[in-house]
Structure 1
């Protein structure tokens, strides 16, 4: 092709009386480069794992909202200062502890709180709903203090509640000392945990509705002219698919950010800690997540998810909820479904009889296992040994049903291609 283009260029040069062969060659190279660029534009771009050197943050994670799987992280369990992303936990506990119209009174010492932005006055009352707007949009440290005292009596007691909830939802390296994220060397979390907190909080409609907005007007009993609240989260204004959640900054923490976006029914969460370019990091991570991952439905609620032994009979058991996995679009990692069930003679159709797990490497996603009509029928004539004492296994591999051993149900896929 190069030769052909070179000859064509030479002929053209001769035709117009140009004797410089170098000029003709440079023109042919330019044409070739332009043609190649057009070809490359049409080639499919395969997703690649983000190079950690291309993500500026010291610590960062991407979590699948549907399943909770951490699909990528950089120093994901490293202890970091969260700054105002702490307020994700505070907001979640506010939703769990208060009614939206419940009045919250600012404590007498509220003005001692550093970097207060809602400018609460002692005795001022705001509804829990308006206090939530203040916390999540204006990042009100004084509002967080008022919430902590309202729910737990003191900031210290509220911090204990925060730590308790963090453990309950699966956080492994989090320790809170205050509700707002003001500097404290005993106040830390990690990017994995922060994304887990955001995922849990976003399950609550009140919280989710608040953090997807960047501007709101509230009603208050004092400071009645200071009612328009605006978020510093510019992603909410720049990306129409963004739906949360919180920015943060202190000198010690640097810029922190937890973001959420939903595109074509898929949703991912990013957590970014100590980044000089948090918005660029979020965009790069989020674009990659949507390009590289997809969801596969294992079973809908009430559908067959495996089989267990009831007496001497293999009988199906059902999924207690829709069961999904988040997998790579290219070379998906293997996963397996493990079922532990303990039906009783009195078990009825639809009763929860055990727990299942979807296992993807170190990630485990739990789901309830329920009794099928076949299981109840098989157990009806006489007592049956609990499944936990049996050795029945049901496997699905490449779409074919196979009998196995070890008292579990396994669903396997092709071996993964491990990215960086």
Structure 2
């Protein structure tokens, strides 16, 4: 039966093709696919958007004479790198680890739950809350101890409470890193004490921080000047104070975390916001004692460069898109559209170049369904991909069949008589 049907379709096509050489018939058939022509549909060439066309004049010289072994500055909205040195080098990150510890606790823990300190937690080296084995706390209070004074015993108590063990909690941390697309970050401890295979990069630490500062509860904690609490049984009182000097010394600073170990050196991951622009920076291996202030100096240089040398501009997707040829379809081409035509902001300097390029096929095969993603409109800034907007078919094109060709024959017959 299938062979018979195929033979019928083939015969109909031969009839129509032969009739196409008769002028009147040819004109008639030109109204139908596949006999009509779509003309020469040209691919869309790449286009350049200059900062000047967007009104951007900001410019600055990238920081020099930095103390950090590796550093990075990103636009927090896109994680686009604005300045960096060895940003992909795997390095220990000390207590900046606790940014991820806090986020895992906020996302997986009950803030009102009771945390019981184990002997393992109580045995952690300085810096400590000096909790005692068996002592009980409310989880929310411990997050202030974790982030304001960077207590190592608190980090382990939180990890054991939520993950069942330090190892179980580390799995949660690594799963989150994988979820965030961080391929050069690996956690072993919740407090950042030196350990083999415990590392991140300057860039990926910025990505972790960019994610964390989207959490309102996280921001409330890291911006708190001080916090007082008691253990659950009310037998001991505690007071913790924010050790992040950047928070009160830099215009627009919003946190977030310092760190130091013998292997990692001084580390800091900071964030600042001005005029709807949020920047995140990280400095790793930024000196050893007694050079405690190097991390602040490097961070200010990065932030100054970001704010003084860049400005926001709105880009609106508006270039016309061509129809795409469709083979074996009931129409010869399909119109396409973007999934979004809304303007989006870019943070750039006058030296940056935005390029718009297109990933579109020369031809599609029917059937094509309305809403099918058929390509992308890509926006790159310099050499880095900034955004991809999906391009979809805006209507359905069904595949030709015997009924379609039979209908053309019938219409052609009545058109002539």
CA–CA distance in structure 2, aligned partners of residues 270 and 103 of structure 1: 34
Residue of structure 1 in register with 2:241 after alignment:
230
CA deviation after TM superposition for structure 1 residue 207, in Å: 1.1
Residue of structure 2 in register with 1:58 after alignment:
69
List gaps (5 residues or longer) in structure 1.
1-43, 386-420
Aligned residue among 219, 226, 244 for 2:255:
244
Residue of structure 2 in register with 1:183 after alignment:
194
CA–CA distance in structure 1, aligned partners of residues 98 and 74 of structure 2: 19
List gaps (5 residues or longer) in structure 2.
1-56, 288-293, 327-332, 401-417
User: For each residue in 1:180-231, what CA deviation from the matched residue of structure 2 results, as whole angstroms up to 9, or x when unmatched?
Assistant: 1111232221111111111111121111222223322335315755432112
CA–CA distance in structure 2, aligned partners of residues 68 and 187 of structure 1: 23
CA–CA distance in structure 2, aligned partners of residues 290 and 365 of structure 1: 19
The answer on whether the counterparts of 1:304 and 1:319 sit within 8 Å (CA) in structure 2 is no
User: For each residue in 1:293-333, what CA deviation from the matched residue of structure 2 results, as whole angstroms up to 9, or x when unmatched?
Assistant: 2233334xxx76874646524332232986333322x2223
CA deviation after TM superposition for structure 1 residue 160, in Å: 2.5
CA deviation after TM superposition for structure 1 residue 363, in Å: 3.4
| Matched residues, number | 328
CA deviation after TM superposition for structure 1 residue 112, in Å: 2.0
Q: TM-score with structure 1 length normalisation?
A: 0.69
The answer on whether the counterparts of 1:260 and 1:267 sit within 8 Å (CA) in structure 2 is yes
1:335 and 2:350 equivalent? no
CA–CA distance in structure 2, aligned partners of residues 137 and 80 of structure 1: 23
Residue of structure 2 in register with 1:152 after alignment:
163
Aligned residue among 291, 303, 317 for 2:338:
317
Residue 218 of structure 1 aligns to a residue whose secondary structure is strand
Cα pair distance change 1:206/1:366, threshold 3 Å: farther
CA–CA distance in structure 1, aligned partners of residues 152 and 281 of structure 2: 23
Aligned residue among 261, 268, 292 for 2:309:
292
CA deviation after TM superposition for structure 1 residue 279, in Å: 0.6
The answer on whether the counterparts of 1:256 and 1:275 sit within 8 Å (CA) in structure 2 is yes
1:383 and 2:398 equivalent? yes
Cα pair distance change 1:106/1:204, threshold 3 Å: same
The answer on whether the counterparts of 1:67 and 1:324 sit within 8 Å (CA) in structure 2 is no
Residue of structure 2 in register with 1:173 after alignment:
184
Greater relative CO (CA pairs within 8 A, separation 6+): 2
Larger gyration radius, structure 1 or structure 2: 2
Considering only aligned residues, what root-mean-square deviation do their CA atoms show, in Å? 3.2
Residue of structure 1 in register with 2:4 after alignment:
none
